[in-house]
Structure 1
Amino acid sequence: MRQLLFGFDGRIGRVAFWTVQVPVLALFWLYGRHVDPLLARWFPYSVFEGLTVALALAAPLIWVQCAIVVKRCHDRGKSGFWALLLFIPVLGWLWLLVDCGLLRPPRELVGA
């Protein structure tokens, strides 16, 4: 489990991708819905401190998200650098969601 969530080498299939992706997306949603408003209340005048705490709390989720996308890119025959699309809001996320979550690996990688 540790290698699945935190390691960047290897491959994972679509089922494993969605098994991790759905809870991670739910946690991101809960974080944005509940944790960010609390941090805004606790650090109303210090944007730097608030962002630092927010990033520290979100870092494990970001790491897991990057790790599973890199592994899924490997399974699709692409470089793990495609995971950098995660840092492009909306368009990058949608691209990776479709590419990693819906498309099969190329035939030459499957051995068909």
Structure 2
Amino acid sequence: MNYYLDVIKRYADFAGRARRQEYWMFVLWNVPIVIVLTVLDFVLGTYPVLGWIYTLAILLPSLGLSVRRLHDTGKSGWWYLVSFIPFVGWIWILILMATEGHPGANEYGQNPKEIRA
């Protein structure tokens, strides 16, 4: 849960680097939240109001986390625009998000693994 809250606290922070663990733990917490909100939307008959409100609320934090994750792999945050290419873009972003970050410092900051160790 701390990984999720840490991302929310860094609401629109696009600087620095994010570890794979931070990214995937955020995704792991997001999936059940979206499922619960979708079920609530159907039960309350408000579909898709709650889902859209949640999506808009976490848009900037998740975008910031994605950019920081790209920074960890040595890529610019602009690489996230690749995800808008149909089918191939999502696969490429998935591969980039799963790729191990560069060891040591890069132009975006220190390796987060070394900072927390």
TM bucket by the smaller chain?
A: 0.5 to 0.7
**Match for residue 96 of structure 2?**
99
Aligned residue-pair number = 100
Q: Evaluate the alpha carbon distance shift between residue 103 and residue 29 of structure 1 in structure 2; reply closer, same or farther with a 3 A threshold.
A: same
Percent identity (aligned) = 24
Larger gyration radius, structure 1 or structure 2: 1
**Match for residue 78 of structure 1?**
75
Q: Which runs of 5+ in 2 are unaligned?
A: 1-5, 112-117
* Partner secondary structure for residue 59 of structure 2: helix
Q: TM-score, normalised by structure 1?
A: 0.62
**As a proportion of its length, which structure holds more helix?**
1
Please list, as runs of the form range in 1=range in 2, the aligned pairs for 1:52-71 lying within 5 A after superposition. Answer: 54-71=51-68
Q: Which runs of 5+ in 1 are unaligned?
A: 44-49
Deviations 1:35-83 (A, max 9, x none): 44357x348xxxxxx66x7533321232232121111011111111222
Structure 1 moving runs of 4+ over 6 Å = none
**Match for residue 115 of structure 2?**
none
**Match for residue 46 of structure 1?**
none
Structure 2: distance between partners of 1:23 and 1:89: 26
Q: TM-score, normalised by structure 2?
A: 0.60
Do 2:83 and 2:92's aligned partners in 1 also have CA atoms closer than 8 Å?
no
